[in-house]
Amino acid sequence: MTVPDKRSVRGDLLVACGLFAAGVVISGFSLAQIRAENRAHLAQATQPLQGTPSDDQGKTPAEAKPGGDRPTTPAPEPARPDPQTQGAARPALPPAPAEKIAPPINK
């Protein structure tokens, strides 16, 4: 093995410091861009909406009737399958062949 001379060590150290400095500069630019984007989003916020005054200011609301009218439409009934379609459902797999069925387990 050869002992590296001072010139090669100094060159390697210079390259390493340059790469480190470049990484710090790129990180700084990235953080600055992230902050600038956040400020741009905040600057684009819309003003709160102002409601328009209605011309019904002088009218009073209708009185609530106790035990008021209920809807006349009947409530929907739960779904019940037709008896004809009950037997129409076919199993996903065919029945197993006889040689694949095991005899019952005895105690």
Tell me the two tokens of residue 50: 């102002």
Q: Residue 79 CA to chain centroid, in angstroms? A: 32
pTM: 0.34
Q: Tell me, what's the pLDDT at 39?
A: 65
Q: Tell me, what's the pLDDT at 1?
A: 47
Range of weakest confidence among 41-45, 71-75, 95-99: 41-45
Quick one: average pLDDT of 68-94? Answer: 69
pLDDT (tens digit, 9 = 90+) per residue, 4-53?
Answer: 687 888 999 999 999 999 999 999 999 998 888 776 555 556 677 776 66
Q: Tell me, what's the pLDDT at 44?
A: 57
Torsion of CA 25, 31, 33, 34, to 10 degrees: 160
Q: Where are the alpha helices (DSSP H) in the chain?
A: 6-43, 83-86
Q: Tell me, what's the pLDDT at 64?
A: 63
